[in-house]
Amino acid sequence: MSAILRLFDGLTLCAPSDPAALGRVLAGLRPDAAVLDAGCGRGADLPVLLAAVPLGRVVAVDLAEPFVAHVRAAFPTVQAELADMRAPPGGPFELIWSGGAVCGPGLGACLAAWRGVLAPGGRVAFTELCWRSPAPSAAARAFWAEEYPGMGDAAALEAAIAGAGWRQLQAEWLPASAWAAYYGPVEARMAALEADADPALQAVIAAFRAEIALWRAHGGDYGYRLSGVAPA
């Protein structure tokens, strides 16, 4: 198991998430709808998704085999598959949800791929890391230039959505509480692994400690932007 998977073993959240914001995304969804959780991680958002479609289907995909195995065990009614989020099985879907995962393949690639598995009248919702401040601190700029060099602001995200041929239906920032709920268990897990001698694991822990310290000092400079979109 890779060091990053070892760190997240036993945790729930693999990125900031907010059930209330996700609930607003799901408003109006038919109870028999088909939903995709693209890049599901360890299934943190699945309870909210399942509750929204009690008569429907939920498919969850991820490229991390331990995550998929956990989802299969924890959520037996979910179709959990080891698959690329751009080529999910089980469509078409009335809703495609991706929490903090579009940064891997890239938003444009995801939106292009999801057109083919979206049901008529369906929509997509996702969270993407964006600058919130027009003048981010030097520390935040330096950190994210290494970790996510393509990060833009909300206006750039909206332009990318429109440029891909989609229209924005809703948008909001995840609250600071979503970040605290994510980082708190990660910090506890890192403390439990402090004595582990694996250098790869300790490098991952050091990177996360730096990320959390940056958030505490400059978290107002950036955040996760939740967008709901539909084909234009």
Query: What's this model's pTM, rounded to 2 decimal places?
Result: 0.96
Flag whether pLDDT at 211 surpasses 70: yes
Q: How confident is the model at residue 176 (pLDDT cuts 50, 70, 90)?
A: very high
Cβ 122 vs Cβ 91: under 8 Å:
no
Q: For residue 31, what are its two tokens? A: 């109870």
- According to DSSP, residue 153 is labeled B
Task: Compute the average pLDDT of residues 193-212.
Answer: 95
Flag whether pLDDT at 88 surpasses 90: yes
Q: For residue 198, what are its two tokens? A: 């694996």
CATH code of the domain in which 111 resides? 3.40.50.150
Task: Tell me how many domains the chain contains.
Answer: 1
Question: CA-to-CA distance for 198 and 1, rounded, in angstroms?
Answer: 12
pLDDT digits (tens, 9 = 90+) for 4-30: 999 999 999 999 999 999 999 999 999
Mean pLDDT of the chain: 97
Q: How confident is the model at residue 197 (pLDDT cuts 50, 70, 90)?
A: confident
Residue 99 sits in which domain range?
3-231
Flag whether pLDDT at 1 surpasses 90: no
